[in-house]
Each structure stands twice: as C-alpha cells, then as structure tokens.
Structure 1
Amino acid sequence: MQVGQAPASLARRACSSRAERTRRRGRWWRLDAGRRALLALAHLRNGDTIARLACGFAISVTTAWRYVREAIGLLAADAPDLNGAIRRIGRLAYTILDGTLIPIDRIADQRPYYSGKHKRHGVNVQVIADCAGRLVWASPALPGAVHDLTAARTNGLIDALNSANVMTFADKAYQGAGGSVRTPFKRHRHRPRLSRRQKTVNRHHAKIRAIGERAVATLKGWKVLTKLRCCPRRATAIVQAILVLHHVQTSRNPR
C-alpha cells in the first residue's frame, strides 16, 4: 500500500488529536495513530475494503470500520467551505466547472440516485478546476438523479461564482446559469444550424473545458470513489476528506 507522506502526516495528526484521545480513552485504540492513519489512507487511496484492511492489520472488521469512519470525519471537518474556496477562486484568471457521477451500490430507495445520463446509480459531485486543470474544490454530494445545473445551484456555486465575477467555463448542461458562467452554443428549433463563428467558439470552448477533466481525474484517482460501498449520505464526508488530503499534498509538492 503506497500512500503519500504529506497526507499520511495530516491523517496521523488527526487520528492522534488530544481531544479525540481524551474522548475515546485508551482502551479504544487497538492501533497507534500512525497505523490508524495508514489504514484510513489505504482505504481512501487504494480502495481497499474494510474486510481486507481488518485482515491486514489484524483487527476486527468493526474496529477497522470505526477507525476509517473517525479518520474521515476528522479530515472532513478541515475541508474548506464554499466561501473559503471562492476567496481562492477570485484570484484566478478563470475556472472550469464540471459535474461527475460517483457510482454507488444499489440501495433500497434507489430511484433518487439513478442517473439517466450515465445509466447507473451514483451521487452527483460538482468539481471546480483552475486554468491548469488543478482541483480547487468539490461540492457536497447530491443524489445522481439531480441535474448538473440544479446541483450547482443547490450548492450555491452559481450565485457564488457570479458574485465573485469569475469567468467560468462549463458544458451545455449548465445553460441558463447566466452571469459569468459561459456555455457553448447549442442547437434548438429556432437555431437548427450553428454558424461558422459559433462552431469555432464551441471548439475553443471545448479545448478549455477539456483541461477541467484533469481535476475530475484527480478526484477519482482516489480509488475509494471508483464505487462507493457505503451509505450514499457518507459520500460528502469522503469527498471532503480527500479534498483536504489532496490540498495538503499539492501544497507540499507544488508542480
């Protein structure tokens, strides 16, 4: 299991916080802080199952799940909110907004989580990238049936980006967002064919948006997001924990 030193250091500090040790008492910990951090990182980065981790660390499945859940909660608590992200975004030349679906296992109430676009169950996460394709922020997760524009509005992204007056490039799913959000031209019954100029604009727009796919790939590089095998309501905390670890890693290893 290979994990970065910077995320491991942060996870270790989170797992060994004095308040947490006091609250849980000594008998709770079967592993020291470093081993608990390694266990949580192996789950997030490599996507190792709880049962496999429990076997590898010689602890029970219940204990392994408890350690992972608590580490994720501690990390997610340090995740930047939208206001903090907008302060950083406001200094950028422009941003790229895109939505991605994180697959989940089927659940009892599965209809809200079924995405007709992707033909599978999942949760919708909105991703903001900078002009170099670096991951800046990821939104709380919403059911997969929610449209990208609705998800962006629900999370306050559209209003925040317009208030900051940041030029934002997005795909056709965000048409109607208005303000500083720029989307490609789209054919409709009153515009059956696009002009040559509009096609040229769309090509350049697509080249810019393609850069934003790097941020989505960065997020999904954490293998736990290949397919979530937990309650969908935990998706937000997992994404926020990953965002914190990613920012720590990139701040110590700038490109």
Structure 2
Amino acid sequence: MRKLIEGQPLRCESMTGLQAGRLADLIDRVREIVGDEWEKPPVGRPHVLPLPTAVIAVLFGLRHNLPDEVLGEVFGCSQATITRYHEILQPILRWVTRPEVDQRLEQTHREGVLVDGFVAPVGERENYHGLFSGKKHVSGQNVQVIADLDGRVADVGEPVNGARHDAAAFFISGIAERWADHLTPGGPGMIGDGGYQGTGPITPHKKPPGGELTAKQKAYNYSVNRLRAAVERAISHLKNWKILKTGYHRIMTAFPDVLRTVTALEIFRTTSPGFE
C-alpha cells in the first residue's frame, strides 16, 4: 500500500481491471491533460493523492462499486476527496480513451453486430418512476448494448427505465437510430434475441402457439443463437465493472455519465496496445 500511495502502482489489475502496462498508459494520458497542475496547482493546495493514485482510486471504485467513504479509508483521504476525484477524472477518462472508442465504432460499423440489453440495479429512487423490471425483478436502468461478433462491447444506448422491455428500449435508447444502417437491406446486419422480433434485427423463430418448429427453423435458431452468445459475453465483461451489477448508489443524474465512463474503459481494456 505504501508504494501505491506514493504513486507507484505495481500490481493493480485486480483493483482496476487493467493490466499494468495499460494502466500506466491510461495514467500517462490523463497526465497529458492535467499537466503539472495536479501536484503543483497555480492556486490553492495540491491534491491529497498523487495523480496515479487518484486515477487508481476512481477505477477501483468503478470496478468494485465501493462507497467513497470506504475508498477514502483505503487511500488515506476523505470521502469528499474521493467524490471530487470521480467528478474531475471521469470526464478526462472518457476523453483520453476516445481513440479506442472511435476505432471500435469505426470497425464495428463495417461488420455485423449483436444487440442485447440488461438491467443495471439502481434501487427505488424518489421521483423516479418505472424503474422496476418485472422480468428481472429489480429496480434499475435498461442498458442496450451493441457488441461485435467477437464479444467485445462497441456501444451502449442512453439508459432507459427498467420497466421498459428491450424492444422499446432499443428505440428509446437511441441504439436503433445510431445503428440504422445495419438494419437496411444490404446492410452489415444485426442479431438479437426473441425480444427484438419486429424491430429490425435478425431474431430466432418463435415456437407457434400449440405447434412446433420445423427442423429447418430449429437449425436456423441454433445458428443464430450460437452467434448471439457473444453479446452475452460482452455484457458479462461490462458488468465486471461492479457499479453496473451490484447496485448503483450514486446520484441518478450521474448514472448516464458513469455508464459512458465504464463503457469507454471496457473498450480501452479490450483494445490491443498500438492498434491501427
């Protein structure tokens, strides 16, 4: 812990989800934005934590969904300091990972994609209605995810109240509009599960009432579902950022930005260094 507090992260993969080299690259990019003003601000006192440690604290909080007061105890600072670092560093993290995000989008827009949704738990919130998902039995936000055929996250939509089914959230989230070219005749194509029937993506055949699927339909469904399994892997990796899995407890107005930050970090994590 002493070396961590001194700003010398050595073994932080389990804390941040990033291998040492990727973490060092991310910290260097953040330093290019904030410069020397982090340690030597022109006015006021310097930050309590060195920049590398502050970045790790933010990633640690997102990866493991730890309360700011707990992070403060771990890193030897106040809860207010950790909260402030989230506010300062999350927009910067989204900015410095833009090369990987843009490259993933450009590549995926040329290929077939997969779509699926999950509900990120947020609990009951005052003045927020329609959060409870009867299907998932949890109050949360429906997050629509676009993944490539290798099971890597490419895009997420704007969060939608959890009571909305995927077919509605597909449009409300903006995903249908952003990926409309994939749904046109001759487009790269998009695959979803049965919840997207009639919305545009390729979906498996549903069993007719009182009937059975033909052998040809069963073979077709098998092929579609084999491809579609990759988006479930992508969602599983996205939910390894536990803030999207174990219960979001921060203010609701910040949830869309937290979702964007985590998505950008997951894309950064799954992009090889030195990509072209």
Q: TM-score range by the shorter chain?
A: 0.7 to 0.9
Percent identity over the alignment is 25
Is residue 137 of structure 1 aligned with residue 155 of structure 2?
A: yes
Task: Give secondary structure in 2 for the equivalent of 1:194.
Answer: coil
Work out whether residues 103 and 121 of structure 1, in 8 Å CA contact, stay in contact via their aligned partners in 2. Answer: yes
Residue 78 (structure 2) aligned to one of 43, 60, 63: 60
Rate the CA distance shift 1:8–1:152 in 2: closer, same or farther, 3 A: farther
Please state how far the C-alpha of 1:102 moved relative to its aligned partner: 0.7
Work out whether residues 132 and 211 of structure 1, in 8 Å CA contact, stay in contact via their aligned partners in 2. Answer: yes
Corresponding residue number in structure 1 for 2:9 = none
Please state how far the C-alpha of 1:244 moved relative to its aligned partner: 2.0
- Give CA-to-partner distance per residue, 1:153-212, whole Å, 9 cap, x none: 12332233332422111011111112xx201112455x8443232222122212221121
Residue 173 (structure 1) aligned to one of 195, 213, 225: 195
Work out whether residues 157 and 174 of structure 2, in 8 Å CA contact, stay in contact via their aligned partners in 1. Answer: no
Please state how far the C-alpha of 1:13 moved relative to its aligned partner: 3.6
| Residue identity opposite 2:244 in structure 1 | L
Residue 124 (structure 2) aligned to one of 75, 91, 106: 106
Rate the CA distance shift 1:221–1:234 in 2: closer, same or farther, 3 A: same
CA distance in 2, matches of 1:15, 1:55: 25
CA distance in 1, matches of 2:25, 2:174: 32
CA distance in 2, matches of 1:49, 1:15: 25
Q: Which gives a bigger RCO, structure 1 or 2 (Cα 8 Å, sep 6+)?
A: 1
Query: Can you give the 5+ residue segments of structure 2 that lack an aligned partner in the other structure?
Result: 1-11
Total equivalences in the alignment = 250
Task: Give secondary structure in 2 for the equivalent of 1:27.
Answer: coil
Residue 135 (structure 2) aligned to one of 91, 107, 117: 117
- Give CA-to-partner distance per residue, 1:8-63, whole Å, 9 cap, x none: 54256436733894999442622121111011011012222211111112211111
Is residue 215 of structure 1 aligned with residue 234 of structure 2?
A: yes
Is residue 184 of structure 1 aligned with residue 204 of structure 2?
A: yes
Instruction: State the TM-score, normalizing by the size of structure 2.
Output: 0.79
Task: Give secondary structure in 1 for the equivalent of 2:76.
Answer: coil
Work out whether residues 129 and 135 of structure 1, in 8 Å CA contact, stay in contact via their aligned partners in 2. Answer: yes
Work out whether residues 152 and 270 of structure 2, in 8 Å CA contact, stay in contact via their aligned partners in 1. Answer: no
Work out whether residues 30 and 59 of structure 1, in 8 Å CA contact, stay in contact via their aligned partners in 2. Answer: yes
Is residue 154 of structure 1 aligned with residue 177 of structure 2?
A: no
Task: Give secondary structure in 1 for the equivalent of 2:45.
Answer: helix
| Residue identity opposite 2:254 in structure 1 | R
Worse-matched range after superposition: 135-144 or 115-124: 135-144
Please state how far the C-alpha of 1:77 moved relative to its aligned partner: 4.4
Corresponding residue number in structure 2 for 1:14 = 30
Is residue 235 of structure 1 aligned with residue 251 of structure 2?
A: no
| Residue identity opposite 1:153 in structure 2 | F
CA distance in 2, matches of 1:24, 1:45: 32
Corresponding residue number in structure 2 for 1:196 = 215
Work out whether residues 76 and 238 of structure 1, in 8 Å CA contact, stay in contact via their aligned partners in 2. Answer: no
Instruction: State the TM-score, normalizing by the size of structure 1.
Output: 0.84
| Residue identity opposite 2:194 in structure 1 | K
Work out whether residues 78 and 244 of structure 1, in 8 Å CA contact, stay in contact via their aligned partners in 2. Answer: no
Work out whether residues 96 and 169 of structure 1, in 8 Å CA contact, stay in contact via their aligned partners in 2. Answer: yes
Work out whether residues 133 and 213 of structure 1, in 8 Å CA contact, stay in contact via their aligned partners in 2. Answer: yes
Task: Give secondary structure in 2 for the equivalent of 1:73.
Answer: helix
| Residue identity opposite 2:178 in structure 1 | A
Corresponding residue number in structure 2 for 1:224 = 243
User: What is the CA RMSD across the aligned residues, in angstroms?
Assistant: 2.9
CA distance in 1, matches of 2:189, 2:220: 15
Rate the CA distance shift 1:108–1:15 in 2: closer, same or farther, 3 A: farther
Query: Can you give the 5+ residue segments of structure 1 that lack an aligned partner in the other structure?
Result: none
